[in-house]
Amino acid sequence: MAQMNDAPQSVVELVTDHFLNVFYFDLGRYLIAAGVMTLVLWLFSRWLELRRIQQRRAKPDDYRREVLSSLRTVFVFGVTTLSTLAMRQAGLVSFSIDTFTWTALALQTVAIIVAHDAYFYWMHRAIHHKRLFRTWHLHHHKSRTPTPWAAYSFSSWEAVAEAAFVPLYLLVATTLGVEYIGFAMFLFLWHMIIRNVIGHCGTEIYPRGWVDNPLTGWWNTVTHHDLHHSAGTCNFGLYFTWWDRWMDTEHPRYRETFREVTGRRREPEAAAVPAE
């Protein structure tokens, strides 16, 4: 979160003092997370190629569209962050950027992640409605074979819906008398982009047995979100499988597909035949 002093600021001062900071923060998170994931996929391509979920591959135009629309999303996120700071100045939301206890930090970080997963699920299902899909969400689904750079590839309307969560959450928390810890918000924002990039990387990075283990089966895999892009009518969750299970919107072959992808084995190289 951007640093602020306690002196009231005008809207003009708020924009001039903080917009570039919050823009660069959101842009930096996107570039670092997507860039590192792309580098990992390239460096370990020999081992990860077998775990590609789709046979289709993204084209240069797909990468170009994803990056350009992500820049627009970063701009929208920056404006939303400014609105949150303005709400703080007006006393509508409250968060601390100084002292905290580790227990409170852990609880608040987990709480906002769980709340965001619920918000995302229902918002995501809503924009899949036939009256909203073309205007709000079709742009994101142009990445039918997603790449790490698709994490922020939204239409302007969807970017607003995605960004609205933070000020709404802080407004509810403040109404309930909870002063949110700025560092908890910082951890949440990094968790969000990292999980988002992983979900769009197109290659399953989680180990075999993940979906069948009760300790990990509730955690979304790359296959889970990739099936959403290829099928389009299922797997609406972002971080966890809870809501898709409860609402019966999980792809019927999700676990089977995960097992197939993670169970692939490289063919042994044929031994060289000595020349006679």
Structure confidence by residue, pLDDT tens digits, 126-135: 999 999 999 9
32-48 residue pLDDT tens? 999 999 999 999 999 99
How many angstroms from the chain centroid is the CA of residue 204? 16
Higher pLDDT, 243 or 94: 243
146-198 residue pLDDT tens? 999 999 999 999 999 999 999 999 999 999 999 899 899 999 999 999 999 99
User: Which of 7-16, 110-119, 122-131, 180-189 comes out lowest in average pLDDT?
Assistant: 7-16
- Please give the C-alpha separations between residue 121 and each of 96, 114, 127, 241, in angstroms, as whole numbers: 28, 11, 10, 10
250-270 residue pLDDT tens? 999 999 999 999 999 876 655
User: Bridge-partner residues for 184, per DSSP?
Assistant: none
Round to whole Å and give the CA distance between 140 and 62.
11
Residue of 194, 152, 202, 151 lying closest to 41 (CA atoms) = 202
The DSSP call for residue 52 is B
Q: Where are the alpha helices (DSSP H) in 90-136?
A: 102-127
Position 276 pLDDT exceeds 60: no
pTM for the structure as a whole: 0.89
Round to whole Å and give the CA distance between 145 and 166.
29
Contact predicate 35/250, CB 8 Å: no
Which residues contact residue 116 at a Cβ distance below 8 angstroms, ignoring those fewer than 6 apart?
165, 169, 188, 192, 238, 239
Q: What is the mean pLDDT of the chain?
A: 91
Structure-token pair, residue 91: 């006393």
